[in-house]
Structure 1
């Protein structure tokens, strides 16, 4: 019986700066606090799953450099007790890193150096090795921030082919998007959909992936976007998350909306990683065969916990506390 989740894609070091205000051009503002941790879809989901402390086998797949940021990533994976044999190294670029400007009670802005993430190729992702070790789920994130894997060619994209390999190896596939604005955004998503069992995205990504309006608080508009993505090929479910709600639309007809418990503004340290924590909670439920309502509930509680820390996963407690 397969057990475990392989997390592939973006491995980033986030340097989170909490600032006193957003500056005008040429102005100076003070950094009130600074924290450093791992970031990116693969890193955040794997470390959130590890924070649940369930003993679930976890596998890291991706590419880092030979610099101090690479050691930060490797140390985090080792501390999580995950298998890092699929985390490869190159000296052709530095490890991806992001300077995150966080304004407490408001939002955050990212200054991203793609580094090794832009070099990640199909052959770098040891899909079959993870499957041979027993991984049941293959997670890939973030689509449209994967450099070479997002490039469109006559056969589709590298990301789509990686997902196809994962399904052929017997794994369930899960894909997460990123809120970047690139001309090929929709085409890159559509290439991957037929190889995607579960798709995670927010309202911004839903609009860019479909061309439809998607209001974060409007269930009808989010459902319309989700239905279009199912029609384009998503095999099991489209899962949309916004600050106002979580929406699960299943290929078999399940339609479920759940609104999270409110989080007091004074309890929010940083929203960095909240969406990834939501995905991790849902993925754990999917892995364990839970019903959609239970998956969304755990996703919302994990996201709420993530909001209370400066980095993406530092404040996520064990599963027993979330339940």
Structure 2
């Protein structure tokens, strides 16, 4: 992530002042695994992904190694596709953030990049987190009425892993379909009120806690999420 703090969100064709800018790792998998490491220095942690053969990719590998995170399955693309990155534009006075994402190698990440047998032999684990669904193009693909992500999650569960899925707040016409075909293999679902609405084809931006709780129950009872649904919202 390139986090850019500005004085205001500009109207189109106008200007905002950048107050400061920092480079950091970002995205669900990186943030979760770094938080886990900060909580427990001895927890066995492994990260799986596809990076570009570039400075950003090397930076991420080195950063994970410094935190004693297993990087054996951080693969490097064999072409010039860049490591995925995001410009996070944060308005200083409100803290509100807007995201501009280059999917890069994330769009090429597929089930072939995950070797659960080898991973678990090296680092015994019980949780598998995958994010962000709906912007992982290869894993979002639908084959024989099943997403590649669903096949991957099924395999993870066969290895005894609890599965955790995180969505992203970017609508596309297949959003609900991808969710429907994937959620039966999800133990723990994390999403916000926008993503909840994209899945159920309705708006929860002005929803009450009761309405959101009812929608979360629907994801378990009708969409077959196995254990928990966590909805975070303003």
Query: Is the structural similarity TM-score above 0.5?
Result: yes
User: In terms of mean alpha carbon deviation, does 38-47 or 102-111 score higher?
Assistant: 102-111
Q: Distance in 2 between matches of 1:76 and 1:226?
A: 36
Specify which of 65, 68, 75 is matched with residue 62 of structure 2: 75
1:109 correspondence with 2:132: no
Residue 61 of structure 1, CA deviation: 0.4
Q: Is the 8 A contact 1:215 1:222 kept in 2?
A: no
Gaps of 5+ in 1: 1-13, 244-323
1:42 correspondence with 2:29: yes
Q: Distance in 2 between matches of 1:202 and 1:127?
A: 29
Q: Number of paired residues?
A: 230
1:233 correspondence with 2:224: yes
Q: Is the 8 A contact 1:149 1:158 kept in 2?
A: yes
1:98 correspondence with 2:86: yes
User: Deviations along 1:235-268, whole A, 9 cap, x unmatched?
Assistant: 111111123xxxxxxxxxxxxxxxxxxxxxxxxx
TM-score (norm 2): 0.93
1:121 correspondence with 2:110: yes
User: In terms of mean alpha carbon deviation, does 165-174 or 127-136 score higher?
Assistant: 127-136
User: Deviations along 1:44-68, whole A, 9 cap, x unmatched?
Assistant: 1111111213421111001001100
Question: What does residue 58 of structure 1 align with?
Answer: 45
Residue 41 of structure 1, CA deviation: 1.3
Question: What does residue 128 of structure 2 align with?
Answer: 138
User: Deviations along 1:107-152, whole A, 9 cap, x unmatched?
Assistant: 1111111110001111012233223331111111111111111122
User: Deviations along 1:23-47, whole A, 9 cap, x unmatched?
Assistant: 2222222210001001111111111
Structure possessing the higher relative contact order (Cα contacts under 8 Å, 6 or more residues apart) = 1
Computed over aligned residues only, the root mean square deviation of the Cα atoms, in angstroms, reads: 1.5
Secondary structure of 1:38's counterpart equals coil
Gaps of 5+ in 2: none
User: Deviations along 1:155-197, whole A, 9 cap, x unmatched?
Assistant: 4111111100000011111111111111111111111111111
Secondary structure of 2:25's counterpart equals strand
1:208 correspondence with 2:198: yes
Secondary structure of 2:131's counterpart equals strand
